[in-house]
Amino acid sequence: MLKYLSANYILPITSMPIKDGIIAVDEEGVIQGIYDSTSFAPIDKAKVERYNGVIIPGFINAHCHIELSHMKGVIPRGTGLPNFLSQVMTARGASMKKIDDAMAKADKEMYQNGIVAVGDHANTDNSSRVKQESEILYHTFIEVIGIEPAEADFKIKEAKSLIHEFTGNHVSITPHAPYSCSKVLFKKFKKAVTETTILSIHNQESDEENKLFRYKIGEFLKFYESIGKDPDSMKAQARNSIQSYLPYLPYPNKIILVHNTYTSLKDLDFVERMDRDIVWCLCPKANLYIEGTLPKVPNFVNAGQLLAIGTDSLASNDKLSILDELKVLHEHFEELDFLQTIQWATINGAIALNIQDQYGSLEIGKKPGIVLLEGMEQMRLTDKVKVKRLA
């Protein structure tokens, strides 16, 4: 039996908005038809569920750490990334019940906020059960971390051993970040990855990362000392981090670069010349929480880069909502066009996770989730806009 949904606008994402459009969805959530008000004739229009707002596909959260959900409110704002990392490492311990309950709550929160798929980073198998039972599709990125060259082989083997804990094909191993992986690890990782899986790496989240790579100075040296790691193998590169590590990542794997808070125009030009399959994921609320600043978003837009949206974890956010992330971007960059940014939150995120065949746009045959944005004014995103899950 089909359900017919209508709103002031249907926004398919991959085509133009449809005023007073109608969408037909079957019991499994698969789209069976999309109509404008003049071409719709399958049934009595009285049977159509009518809503005030804009109907869109479900959101894609391209970056999260659901296993840190129990750390909500634990770390204060504005610590800077090295101090934030130190506190995550020292304060993440908790009972499994507390961790499980927090993850289950976070998963439910994301579902209610219209999120249908998540790119989620993990260091443990703690999140495997909640993902298996969830109505959300997860791609799990198992992080490889190893600062000292001697531990590279073990760290890669350790990460690979976790793959079988996550059922399905949506799992891959990935370097965590340039500051947490030695050059030896990057080289060994490149050889160890024999399939064209997706990579997702934290990139230039802090200016301290660029200082480390350019001059080998700054807060990260103190961070290494605090955790008992020897950074002697790291040498000053006289260039920003992304220009130092990107050539060592496997080719032609898709790479999601996350945060990009301190990515420069020169960095963007470098990446363009590398001709890699890159998606830039922005997590604005986490950037403000940790570093108190945002990426220079217009630089990415003007350069024609593919952008997606993530929430990061509840250790660095008060809510797992892609809509809230978009609101922050529009608040700080008034020149942004909602019809463009909504693509970042839907189809671009689906492309990032290689799930665009089913998610990210309203098209016949897809099962993308159906979400209503209430309170929209002439396709403008304001604080008044709320999300309601329809299917």
Helix axis angle, 183-192 to 152-162, nearest 10° = 40
Task: Give residue-wise pLDDT tens across range 125-181.
Answer: 999 999 999 999 999 999 999 999 999 999 999 999 999 999 777 999 999 999 999
Residue type, 340: Q
| pTM for the whole structure | 0.97
Domains and CATH numbers, the chain: 1-57+360-390 (2.30.40.10), 59-359 (3.20.20.140)
- Rounded to whole angstroms, how far apart are CA atoms 260 and 240? 12
- Rounded to whole angstroms, how far apart are CA atoms 378 and 391? 24
Task: Give residue-wise pLDDT tens across range 336-385.
Answer: 999 999 999 999 999 999 999 999 999 999 999 999 999 998 889 999 99
Residues 6 or more apart from 202 whose CB is under 8 A from it?
A: 176, 177, 178, 258, 259
Band (pLDDT 50/70/90 cuts) for residue 41 is low
Contact (CB, 8 A) for 293 and 268: no
Contact (CB, 8 A) for 270 and 257: no
Task: Give residue-wise pLDDT tens across range 184-216.
Answer: 999 999 999 988 899 999 999 999 999 999 999
